[in-house]
Structure 1
Amino acid sequence: MLSRLGGWTARRRFWVVAAWAVVTVVGAVLGGSVYDRTDSLDGTRPGLESTQVQQRLDEVDPEGEVVVAVLGGRDFFSTDLVSQASRIMFEIREMDGVAEVTDAYTAGGLIGSDGQSSLVTVELDRGLSEDEALGVADDVATALREVDVPEVLVGGELLSVRAFAEQAIADTVRGELVALGFLCLALLLILGGLRAAALPLAAALAVIATTLLALTALAGLVPVSEYAVNIVTLLGIGLAVDYSLLMVFRFREERAAAPDAALEELLSRTTASAGRAVLVSGLAVATVMVGLYAFADPLLSAMALGGALVVVLATVVGLTLVPALIAVAHRHVPGRDQRTWVRRPRASRQEPGVAKGVREAKGGRGPRGAQKARGAKPPVGAPGVLAVLAGFAQRRPVLVVLAGVGTLLVLAVPALQLQLANSDASALPPGSEERRTAEVVQADFEDAVQPLAVLLDGDPTVAEMRPLLREIKALPGTDEVFIRDDVQGVTLVDVVPRGAEAGPGAQQLVREVRALDGLPRRVGGPAAELVDAKDSTVDRLPLALVLVLLATFVLLLLLTGSVVVPIKAILLNLLTLAATFGVLVAVFQWGWGSDLLGFEPWGAIDLTTPLLLFVFVLGLSMDYEVFLLARIKEEWDRRRDDSREANDRAVLAGITATGPVVTAAALCIAIVFLGFALGELVAVKEIGVGMTVAVLLDVTVVRGLLLPASMTLLGRWNWWRPFVAASPPVPVPVPAVPTPRSRRTSG
């Protein structure tokens, strides 16, 4: 089927390119409106205890959005300041959309400990839409800035969410520009020509534009988060470039092997072989993205929707548009050893170490080295980095496995101290007003800490509540306890924690209050929401792992026909994931290298970052795994003599042939993610840095060393299948391909 698809796209190449061009232009024109139709999802998961508490409080004591302001830098008790500020506070009360104002001038609000600042909270009407509330908040901020004090800081959750959304869009634009600029240069050097380099870029633009168009249409049916747009951009560029490079490299190889073959035949072979890897990879990555739904989080579900959509479209583009583009521009795709204005061929200029790698690939020494690759196509020019690493790993498999696994485990050690938290204003850029407001409130107004909301079931009397209140007061993390008498219809106790309202101490206090005996109760508030989110993630993680890993296992089983290879691939991918988490903790939680990356650590990792990295790392690791294993399986099927030597030759031949495309794809996608690591939002920066580290570790330590070393140790057991009788060796005669004398390397 894929072979026929390749031939069809070659014959109809201009129609295929024209159709995708129309869709891309429409997507570029209309898809941008998705930014105006996104929703600011709060990530609240239904059914959790803290969610139930908040829903009950919203029923009996509905509250609108709150604007928080700090007026500072001048003596609070100054007579003219009191008069002016009081007048402005009364004016704010009269504004349409304002429900209540609490300030130190007219309503007994909080004054800073230095007497130089005061806190103002403005509650808006509950019935306002998001846009209406933001309009009122801006009017309130304008009025507050009329107070004659040196510094007026205005923030709050409503304005912080808007700042997050605006910064996310700005980071996306900046990341795209930086990534595309460096990506163009990298593709130019990799493919050796301007027109050849344009092929992956055209595929990436098509994927992004069409996905944004699809998200715009879906935004009218389901909520779409602005962060899903970031995911679309990251995955769209990365996967489109990966799949394009795989197809272009395989086309060059097929053309070099049969220079007189017709274009239609070459693209049929290319799509039948490389297209199969693209299809399996796309299915694997899409399945991993769908695994986000297992966490039952609205924000993650929106990201899963965008991610799965872009993977499907990237796969379709890789199987249709990319072959059509190759058919149109095939004369401008230089061979690997062809001289261009960008590069000179390296075949006659090999370094001694590289020559050694080629010599060993053709029949070098070493009990586990790959001897003559009987029936394999000789490598063109100098071998790639992965081929050299693979040759080294096959000569010393035990040492490489021990050293590689040990390195990844050492990198993973910091992950044992992983601290998760919900991103708040502290994750905004250091200079943003919303972040500065939150920091000043936390530092100077301890009484403004949001307490734990303990909702008691039934209608207990004060006497019945007294033992429970004494126990809560005796807990080490409790600062203050008082019964709320301003909420009708429920019995509510506020428990003020010591320290930050959602810090480790407050989270521990939530667990201790829930563990007490006595009256039935439910606990809500920011700390309880974080505790419930973390517990829910841990509870649902096994389900997500089973769904993702089982689907991955089945796809690799169908690709390779082996049970051992998928299990080994999954274990190696999990090692990469653990090492990435460890690096992420060291950088973003401990602050190693924070000055270099331009951010201030806040002592935790965003709660969604490990989940997103879980699917991204597994997905892209599987991407490269499929590329390599598909070719290794081809080489194994060419030999099939069930010997250890045949296994070693197949592994080295597959890595030698596919290593360059994997290296090039990894370099390109690392550039893409590094572009987003330059963003201002810490959460986006975490994803960018985490994915860059994961890709680099995966393509060097895992694919370059651990994959060939482990397959060498396993030998013919790599291809074991239970309940399948071993077939006798079937030699496949393959004509020897003479190696030109000019390309031989001396011993």
Structure 2
Amino acid sequence: MSVTNPLTVLPLRAARWSATHPWRAISAWLAFVVLAVALASVVPSVETDDADYRLGDSGRADELVTDAGLERPDSENVLVTSADGPVDRAAAQAAAAELVAGMTGLPGVDEVSEPQWNPDESALLVAVQLARDGDEDVDVAPLTAVTREVQQAHPDLQVRQSGDVSLDEAINDRVAEDLASAEGISVPITLVLMLIAFGALLAAGIPVLLAFTSVAATIGIMAPISHLVPSEGTVTSMIVLIGMAVGVDYSLFYLKREREERAAGRTTLEAVEIAAQTSGHSILVSGGAVIASMTGLFVMGGATFNSLAVGSIIVVAVAVLGSITVLPALLVKLGRWVDRPRVPLLWRLNRRVGRGGMSSRLLGPVVRHPRVALALSSVVVIALAAPALGLRTNAANLETLPGDIPEVATMRALTSAFPAEGAAATVVVRADADQQEQVGSALADLEERAIATGHFAASDEEPVTSQDGRTTVLRIGMPYDEADERVNEALRDLRTDLLPAAFDGADGLDGAETVVGGGAAANLDYLDRQSDRLPLVIGFVLLLTFLMMLATFRSLPIALLSTVLNLASVGVSFGFLVLVFQHGWGADLLGFDNPGFVIDWLPLFVLVVLLGLSMDYHVFVVSRIREHLDAGLPARLAVQRGIADTAGVVTSAAAVMVSVFAIFATLSMLEMKMMGVGLAAAILLDATLVRLVMLPAALVLMGERAWWPRRPVAPRDEQVEDPARELATSR
């Protein structure tokens, strides 16, 4: 069998060079990792800023407000309530007076307001306006020190502080703690799973080591790249999540095949070459599929998706590079020592799983009764995916943050005691300075019209005009929480009807620019952009992966089947997200308050990640079936042997992915929980029901037609019983 496919030639040549120059390959990889890690300490990373997230009318409004110097300064709030029972008014007022006296004049403080009672006089609020300090946050440590002192002096009261700076710092600290916890747990769990998969310490450690070094190298490389694509705060966690999953899986595929060939009597060099030609080919294809899926994030655009796409693409590329270069070198140097030291019980268990013993009982009925198996599995998948039809998305808000963060609990108590701080719209008008009077009249008319709809509330705030007289800002409140569906309805009405009605007919305002911004408007603009571009992203990703499968296997039915099965996995993932986070199934078990929606950016991210990662073992399984077909086996037998040969590897690979994603489901940040639940549930079902039941059942039913237009059958005189031996003699 001649080897002409570039995706087969490349890993084979890389393996041969690494196998004959092992120390050079190992040294080059170590130098690459060290250099990449060093970049992070030499080149400062560029983080995203507020301007990077501007989108649509809300983005334009934010730009105008910033250019005019009218952005609201950061503020901190101190809430004084009773520790138990009715509040002591005299004690609360005394505590508030101490807060005002202690915070007035502190560095970074512009103004401390007079204490304000809420309507039922159960809470007293002291608001602190912070000074503008460029792009840097004011240090609020002196303020929190005053708050602690007042709390100690008044033990019968609750004196709590939260605000723009302290809340952000608390959230960032919690995210860092969560990620450190996930990283600390994921490595030992992955190592244990590798021990179960291989039954030997060295074999178990190699995939984890390569995945870890791939992640470390990618984090270092992201530092200089962030100067081109600013790095979003969550990108490191995504690199760890995806890097550990694909890095371990790629090494697992390669190492499993190399051990299998050695067990069949090949030399180490022969085994490495066969693994390069088969598993190495699968690694390149599956890595390309992941990268193709991730490029779909660029279609959506925006700072978050661009940053996540770059980080994910790089870590996958680095993991592929390590798997086809340094891994063959390590295997050649270790030889049969890679199976040492053995863990006796796990070694025996591994030998049984490796022979497909656990899947044979399932495969038999599937192959004998493919129609029944496909029908039953399809019913299960459809039932699990059906809730996705009711998917509701919304931006993250205060209610989606962990309630055990003191600053979050304080802010929730503050908004409950002072409900005026709800959703709001910011109307920004850009006009000539001599048109101030007309702008003021039009804004007054707009506010009157808005209040009359019932969607907006009267406010004591007056319009604010910039020093040059060209930009005017009016903030109009709404009597709804930001997650309320009526907020978007009100904003659309404001933009399309109320604002034009107030300004288009106003005299002397020709050429004035009017836009609606604010946090709620930014959420609406994001949802509109996502709904507009999501079909393009889905179509783009599916088309790319379809073309890759078509080019790899040269079979139209296989490419179509791959696409359908991937969509089934995505549907199951979305179904689980709806059941858990909209309907609250398992909320107590996972430790979160049911928000009633899925955070807006997650469905798209889960979709592209899942479409990419599910291709890992799909390509591996179908490639093995293709090997048996190349050797001349009948289609039904090729399917049965291919699935049985790869069942143990697929189980191990899926176990790694599910365990890593499940760890994220245990973290306190709701975004991480949603991502972990969606991916873990879909991968678990994909690796079992989809790939071990639906895939073989569909292939058996299609028979020879599955490989149209060209069935890869060897001539009769070239058919062999052992595809691996045929590969070994084809060099």
Asked if Structure 1 and Structure 2 have the same fold, meaning a TM-score greater than 0.5 normalized by the shorter chain, the answer is yes
Report the equivalent of 1:58: 66
| Secondary structure of the corresponding residue to residue 411 of structure 1 | helix
Structure 1 residues 141-150 or 277-286, which shifts more? 141-150
2:632 is aligned to 639
The residue that corresponds to 1:195 in the other structure is: 202
Partner of residue 134, structure 2: 128
Q: How does 1:612-651 map to 2 (within 5 A)?
A: 612-639=605-632, 646-651=634-639
Q: Cα distance, 1:381 vs. partner?
A: 4.2
Shift of 1:482: 7.1
After TM superposition, give the deviation of residue 341 of structure 1 in Å.
5.1
Q: TM-score, normalised by structure 1?
A: 0.85
Tell me how far apart the structure 2 counterparts of residues 730 and 639 of structure 1 sit (CA, whole Å). Answer: 8
Q: For 1:464 and 1:25, how far apart are their aligned partners in 2? A: 62
Looking at structure 1, the residues matched to 401 and 454 of structure 2 have their Cα atoms a distance apart, in angstroms, of: 32
Q: Is the 8 A contact 1:179 1:674 kept in 2?
A: no
Q: Distance in 2 between matches of 1:728 and 1:485?
A: 78
Shift of residue 293 of structure 1?
A: 1.6
Q: Amino acid of the residue matched to residue 472 of structure 1?
A: A
Contact 1:193 1:334 in 2 (8 A): yes
Identity across matched positions, percent: 28
Mark the CA change 1:594 to 1:252 in structure 2 (over 3 Å): closer, same or farther: same
| Structure 2 counterpart SS, 1:495 | strand
Q: Is the 8 A contact 1:482 1:494 kept in 2?
A: no
Q: Are 2:84 and 1:39 aligned? A: no
Aligned to 2:290: 285
How far residue 587 of structure 1 moved from its aligned partner, in angstroms, is 1.3
Distance 2:453 2:522 in 1: 20
* Alpha-carbon distance in 1 for matches of 2:626, 2:52: 45
TM-superposed deviation, 1:394? 2.6
Which amino acid in 1 is paired with 2:482?
A: E
Task: Name the SS of the counterpart of 1:224 in structure 2.
Answer: coil
Whether the 8 Å CA contact 1:64–1:123 is kept in 2: the answer is yes
Q: Distance in 2 between matches of 1:95 and 1:285?
A: 52
The residue number in structure 1 matching 2:77 is: 68
User: Against the structure 1 CA distance between its residues 444 and 215, is the aligned structure 2 distance closer, same or farther, given a 3 Å change threshold?
Assistant: same
Q: What aligned pairs does 1:10-159 form with structure 2 within 5 A after superposition?
A: 10-24=19-33, 37=45, 39=47, 45-60=53-68, 61-73=70-82, 78-79=89-90, 81-82=92-93, 85-86=96-97, 88-104=99-115, 109=116, 111-130=117-136, 133-135=137-139, 137-147=140-150, 148-149=153-154, 150-159=157-166
Structure-2 residue corresponding to 1:299? 304
| Residue pairs, 1:159-174, within 5 angstroms | 159-174=166-181
Deviation, structure 1 residue 271: 0.5
Report what 1:423 is aligned to: 396
Aligned amino acid, residue 636 of structure 1: L
Distance 2:161 2:41 in 1: 30
**Following the alignment from structure 2 to structure 1, what is the Cα–Cα distance between the partners of residues 713 and 287?**
34
**Aligned-pair CA distance for 1:24:** 4.1
Quote the residue 1:485 is aligned against.
463
Q: Could you tell me how far apart the structure 1 residues matched to 2:620 and 2:647 are?
A: 9
Q: 1:731 aligns with which of 716, 719, 723?
A: 716
Aligned to 1:371: none
Distance 2:722 2:483 in 1: 68
| CA distance in structure 1 between the aligned counterparts of 2:676 and 2:50, rounded to whole angstroms | 22
Deviation, structure 1 residue 436: 0.6
Q: Does 1:392 align with 2:365?
A: yes
Match of 1:255 in 2: 262
Shift of 1:17: 2.2
Task: Call closer, same or farther: CA 1:433–1:33 in 2, change over 3 Å.
Answer: farther
SS for the counterpart of 2:502 is coil
Q: Distance in 2 between matches of 1:167 and 1:99?
A: 29
Aligned residue number for residue 317 of structure 2: 312
Amino acid at match of 1:118: L
* Counterpart-to-counterpart distance in 1, 2:465 and 2:365: 72
The residue type equivalent to 1:146 in the other structure is: E
Matching residue of 1:434: 407
Equivalences, count: 686
Counterpart CA distance in 2 for 1:332 and 1:612 is: 41
Q: Compared with structure 1, are the counterparts of its residues 603 and 683 closer, same or farther at alpha carbon in structure 2 (3 Å cutoff)? A: same
1:703 aligns with 691
Contact 1:62/1:126 (<8 A) preserved: no
Q: What displacement does 1:237 show?
A: 0.9
- Quote how far apart the aligned CAs of 1:417 are: 2.8
Partner of 1:516, secondary structure, is helix
Matched, 1:519 2:502: yes
Distance change >3 Å, CA 396–CA 119, structure 1 → 2: farther
Q: Does 1:717 align with 2:705?
A: yes
Distance in 2 (CA, whole Å) between partners of 1:301 and 1:546 is 18
- Note if 1:245 corresponds to 2:233: no
Q: 1:682 to 1:84 in 2, by over 3 A?
A: closer
Q: Which runs of 5+ in 1 are unaligned?
A: 351-378, 641-645, 739-747
Aligned match for 2:545, one of 519, 533, 552: 552
Match among 543, 549, 570 for residue 536 of structure 2: 543
Task: Report the Cα distance in structure 1 between the residues aligned to 2:444 and 2:99, rounded to whole angstroms.
Answer: 43
Query: What SS class does the counterpart of residue 500 from structure 1 fall into?
Result: coil
Q: Report the Cα offset of residue 735 of structure 1.
A: 4.5
Is 1:603 aligned to 2:596, yes or no? yes
CA separation of 1:33/1:134 partners in 2, compared to 1, >3 Å: closer, same or farther? farther
Q: Which amino acid aligns with 2:716?
A: P
Alpha-carbon separation, structure 1, partners of 2:138 and 2:459: 34
Please state how far the C-alpha of 1:54 moved relative to its aligned partner. Answer: 2.1
How much does 1:32 deviate?
7.9
Equivalent residue, structure 2, for 1:3: 12
**What secondary structure is seen at the aligned counterpart in 2 of 1:480?**
coil
CA contact (8 A) 1:483 1:492 kept: no
1:273 to 266, 272, 278: 278
| Residue type of the alignment partner of 2:604 | L
- The RMSD of aligned alpha carbons is 3.1
> Which amino acid counterpart does residue 734 of structure 1 have in structure 2?
Q
2:451 is matched with: 473
Which residue does 2:334 correspond to in 1? 329
707 and 32 in structure 1: CA distance in 2 versus 1, 3 angstrom threshold: farther
Change in Cα spacing, 1:339 to 1:93, as seen in structure 2 (3 Å) is closer
TM-aligned CA deviation for residue 201 of structure 1: 1.4
- C-alpha change, 1:32 and 1:684, in structure 2 (3 Å) is farther
Letter in 2 for 1:228: V
- Answer with 527-536 or 41-50: which moved more: 41-50
How has the CA–CA distance of structure 1 residues 439 and 80 changed in structure 2, closer, same or farther, with 3 Å as cutoff?
Answer: closer
Are 1:429 and 1:680, in contact at CA under 8 Å, matched by a contact in 2? yes
Deviation sequence 1:577-610 (CA, Å, 0-9, x none): 1111111122123221122112222222222211
Output the CA distance in 1 between the equivalents of 2:262 and 2:79. 69
Unmatched segments (≥5 aa) in structure 2: 1-8, 504-513, 724-731
- Please give the alpha-carbon distance, in whole angstroms, between the structure 2 residues aligned to 1:243 and 1:100: 58
Deviations 1:376-434 (A, max 9, x none): xxx9745342x543433232222222222222222223223323222234333221122
Match of 1:745 in 2: none
Residues 464/223 of structure 1: CA separation in 2 closer, same or farther (3 Å cut): closer
Q: Contact between 1:92 and 1:98, CA under 8 Å: does it hold in 2?
A: yes
| Counterpart position of 2:506 | none
Cα distance in structure 2, aligned partners of 1:616 and 1:688: 12
Structure 2: how far apart are the matches of 1:575 and 1:382? Answer: 25
Q: Is the 8 A contact 1:97 1:128 kept in 2?
A: no
Quote the Cα distance in structure 2 between the aligned partners of 1:311 and 1:619: 10
Equivalence for 1:375: none
The match for 1:343 is: 347
